[in-house]
Structure 1
Amino acid sequence: MANWLARVLPSWLSRSKEGEYRPGPYLLSDGVLSAKAGAILNWWQSGYSLQPYSEGGAMVEACVSAYAQTVAMCPGDHWRKLANGGRERVTTSSLSRIMKRPNDYQSISDFLLNLTRRLYDKGEVFALAVRNERREISEIHLMRHGHGLVADDGSIFYRLSGNEIVERRFDITDPIPARDVLHVRLHTPRHPLKGESPILATVLERAMAGAALNQQVAFYLNQSRPSWLLETDQNLTAEQTRQLRERWEEQTTGENAGRTPILTAGLKAKSAPTTSQDGHLADMLKLTDQGIALAFRIPLQILGIGGTPFASTEALMASWKASGLGFALNHIEEAFGLLFGLKGQPDEYLELNTNALMRSNFKERIEALARGVITGIYAPDEARAEEDLPAVEGGHGKMPRVQQQVVPLSYGTEMKPPDPNKAALPAPAPEPDREEDDDAGRSFDDFTRDIDARIAQLH
């Protein structure tokens, strides 16, 4: 194994001087050309083709498909923040229309599936935005190929190709300004406008797995029989050895496979011994799969391998969203926000709703909504809307509610009963006794005569 690694590593890690011959594999814009194919000038006419960043495999396909299919499951919504701290869904913007139907030949699921797949397969993805008479984006089309151009004043343009429908509808021969191009890219170690896929970090793992699997393919093509050794006590010349080998292969391979050969001249057939390293093939392939999953930041349980340390599907998805999936969703959201000129979080943004990933987990979803309603976080109508149910008639489900025993923290100081040790308020004064009143029993005429007498005294 060490000798094999020593032969592989210099071929792609060492750097040659400019103009000096360097053995393959050769990294090109659309993939990797093997060393054997690179030695042939017209390699494309000799049955060779570019491999997408070295040899593919089931594990790489599983990782890329996991991201692409998961992102395609998440519906996108245009949100705007309100002054009261809430948010509202914008349904009349060009972004909201694009997230329902990006063009006339793709659904949004098709669009996000291929966008995410190319992002992780090639490290970047391009899409052409077409505007209407109001300068609003009305269509968006994925392009297989593209590269950025930087003008003398620093302006950015793109050359796009690789969409047969777009090439017949629009003239894209001239460079396209960056404002009309959706360019989603991963890390850019070589150029700010050139993203690279995490597949490049798995070259050694995939080369190791490819060498092991190729050996097993050759083993099974030989009908799972190990090589044989022919032994004899006689001294044989080189010509006799060659003839015996050819005679043995003629009688045991091809159409004669499975027949019984007859040995003469003291020959004895003995199967080649197998080493203990051959039994470690499964363990080695398992380690390479784990390395590829680690490069893509995917839990092994998402791919259907490994143990089950998570108690629920929600916990498993939460772990993935906290690492690789969360980054992928946010990265795509921000790229759309840049293309459509959104203000960004938290004022105005695109959100790919991950609640759709819990669609099949009915029990945990309902328990979470019920707890949200009981604790007053959700109003009943809001929880029902999450399940696409109508609001309660009469407006009885608009207001959040809590149980009666849930009281504010100030209850202990402002709402407790009065202290008995405090002095009691003075009793109100008693009403005057009507018997001691001189005016009791006098009529209106008596009061009138009394007033007239007092006026006469004044004169």
Structure 2
Amino acid sequence: MRLFPWLRKSGPPLPVGSTSSVTGVVREPFAGAWQSGMSAFDAGVDSRHDLLAFSAVYACVDRISSDIAKLGIRYVKQTGIIWQEYGAPRFTVPLRRPNAYQNRIQFITSWQVSKLLFGNTYVLLVRDALRNVISMYVLDPARVVPLVSTSGAVFYRVAADPLRGLQEQVTIPASEIIHDRGACPWHPLIGVSPIVAAAAAGTMGNRIQFNSRKFFGNMSRPGGILSADGPISDETANRLKTQWEANYGGENAGRTAVVGDGLKYTAVMMSATDAQLIEQLKWAVEDVARCYHVPLYKIGADPTGSKTAANIGALEQSYYTDCLQAPIEALELCLDDGFEVPDGQGFEVDVRGLLRMDAGARYDAYAKAVGGGWMAPNEARAAENMPPVPGGDTPYLQQQNYSLKALSERDRNPAPNSTTAPKEPAKEPTNAD
């Protein structure tokens, strides 16, 4: 039995956006960039690897991917109007160990990092003879090209990748690929990463840090010009320049210079204060966080200290709603489609670990829920990973609670639990009496 029964070499389907194998849609950052072989990152914008060197970009990508990966994934089934966890090894076992070199957290982290950096995540599904998923591989987005046939069927051309079990370039049908993608402004099969919008801010932040390193490496002294009142020859100018750089540049910066013949030194580079370095760097961090929808306190860049013990619950809820909910919902739907789960069942990311309150707030909420009669004691114990107790499966209410209708009836009639025996009706007189 072949591991990939659909395995075949690249066929007729054309790359997305193309009208033939030669011509297609070309998007370039400026006129002539395509002929010069320059991409958007070549046109004054750093590559994705360089942008990761900017701490704000790395912090946002790491924060989102790690926060989603640490959450458990349950398989649930609808029972009546509620969803309950359901044991289905066919679906849950592949998630515990997706492949030979990744566990669940590493796999989900790779999934999210690929989407955050490239805008697309391609997951190769390996099935057995019964079409059960037995392993999953997150593919390198740079090695995958979406294809569309003339009939509208979607395929994916994947370059050789021995780590994922692909020994040659193949064309894979869409049913064997989970394609999770970000915003698709140009084509429904081509997602765009937030890093496209954050590239300018990330590049500026990188260059500010690089210039700062050079500035402080020069004893915090700016560059300048040696000038003379009268004309000097090129030979003299080159000699003075060479001597000045050798004696007062690099590690020798900061030494005392003695100049003659009317030479003057004039600084030409702005200092860090003149360039408002801190303000510019702060704006770059804020712009990157804005593109990724990550609050500043999550990446340690909030100068106001808005995170306190009193509002941590509200902040976490806002972080989940604004930043994490969309990728989490997309993850659940992609797993449902890839595993071909039946109706009324599906995967669910357990967000309780993310929105978990402190112990005092949790216990207070449990007390109100159990005391209000809509939560059983054993349900509260299960939420704290405690075993059930006898009699704790039923919600309870105190006996003195009555409805308004029952109280109205009580005012007109004896109470239902009254111990006073009702009077017997008088007997009619008989002949004997």
TM superposition score normalised by structure 1 = 0.76
- Contact persistence 2:51–2:57 (CA under 8 A): no
Is 1:385 the counterpart of 2:400 in the alignment? no
Counterpart position of 2:340: 341
Once residues 60 and 257 of structure 1 are traced to their aligned partners in structure 2, the CA distance between those partners, rounded to angstroms, is: 33
Number of residues paired by the alignment?
394
Given residue 157 of structure 2, which amino acid in structure 1 is its aligned partner? R
Counterpart position of 1:7: none
Pick from 115, 136, 139 the counterpart of residue 140 of structure 1. 136
Once residues 276 and 115 of structure 1 are traced to their aligned partners in structure 2, the CA distance between those partners, rounded to angstroms, is: 40
Given residue 177 of structure 1, which amino acid in structure 2 is its aligned partner? P
Pick from 401, 407, 415 the counterpart of residue 396 of structure 2. 401
Counterpart position of 2:118: 122
In terms of fraction of residues, the more helix-rich structure is: 1
Given residue 339 of structure 1, which amino acid in structure 2 is its aligned partner? G
Distance 1:189 1:162, change over 3 A: farther
- Contact persistence 2:159–2:170 (CA under 8 A): no
1:358 deviates by 4.8
> Is 276-285 or 191-200 further displaced after alignment?
276-285
Given residue 16 of structure 1, which amino acid in structure 2 is its aligned partner? A
Once residues 145 and 202 of structure 2 are traced to their aligned partners in structure 1, the CA distance between those partners, rounded to angstroms, is: 28
1:111 deviates by 0.7
Pick from 51, 56, 77 the counterpart of residue 80 of structure 1. 77
Distance 1:20 1:341, change over 3 A: closer
Counterpart position of 1:70: 67
Counterpart position of 2:418: none
Unaligned runs of 5+ in 1: 1-11, 37-49, 420-424, 437-459
Counterpart position of 2:202: 206
Pick from 244, 248, 254 the counterpart of residue 252 of structure 1. 248
What is the alpha-carbon root mean square deviation over aligned residues? Answer: 3.2
Given residue 149 of structure 1, which amino acid in structure 2 is its aligned partner? L
> Is 195-204 or 402-411 further displaced after alignment?
402-411
Distance 1:372 1:360, change over 3 A: closer
Once residues 167 and 251 of structure 2 are traced to their aligned partners in structure 1, the CA distance between those partners, rounded to angstroms, is: 59
Q: 1:273-422 to 2 correspondence within 5 Å?
A: 274=270, 278-306=274-302, 307-310=304-307, 311-342=310-341, 347-358=344-355, 361-392=358-389, 395-418=390-413
Cα-to-partner distance string for 1:381-420 (whole Å, 9 max, x where unaligned): 111111111110xx3100012344544354454444449x
- Contact persistence 2:218–2:250 (CA under 8 A): no
1:272 deviates by 5.3
Once residues 113 and 39 of structure 2 are traced to their aligned partners in structure 1, the CA distance between those partners, rounded to angstroms, is: 23
Distance 1:270 1:140, change over 3 A: closer
Once residues 99 and 233 of structure 1 are traced to their aligned partners in structure 2, the CA distance between those partners, rounded to angstroms, is: 77
Counterpart position of 1:16: 31
- Contact persistence 1:91–1:97 (CA under 8 A): no
Once residues 147 and 415 of structure 1 are traced to their aligned partners in structure 2, the CA distance between those partners, rounded to angstroms, is: 76
- Contact persistence 2:29–2:39 (CA under 8 A): no
Counterpart position of 2:17: none
Once residues 172 and 370 of structure 1 are traced to their aligned partners in structure 2, the CA distance between those partners, rounded to angstroms, is: 61
1:242 deviates by 3.9
Distance 1:87 1:52, change over 3 A: same
Is 1:90 the counterpart of 2:86 in the alignment? yes
Given residue 397 of structure 1, which amino acid in structure 2 is its aligned partner? G
Is 1:154 the counterpart of 2:149 in the alignment? no
Distance 1:241 1:409, change over 3 A: farther
Q: SS where residue 77 of structure 1 aligns?
A: strand
Once residues 274 and 171 of structure 1 are traced to their aligned partners in structure 2, the CA distance between those partners, rounded to angstroms, is: 55
Indicate the structure whose relative CO is greater, using CA pairs within 8 Å and at least 6 residues apart: 2
> Is 252-261 or 265-274 further displaced after alignment?
265-274
Is 1:227 the counterpart of 2:223 in the alignment? yes
> Is 263-272 or 135-144 further displaced after alignment?
263-272
1:373 deviates by 1.8
Once residues 77 and 408 of structure 2 are traced to their aligned partners in structure 1, the CA distance between those partners, rounded to angstroms, is: 41
Question: Which structure has the bigger radius of gyration?
Answer: 1
Counterpart position of 1:166: 164
Given residue 384 of structure 1, which amino acid in structure 2 is its aligned partner? R
Ranges of 4+ aligned residues in structure 1 off by more than 6 Å: none
- Contact persistence 1:81–1:88 (CA under 8 A): yes
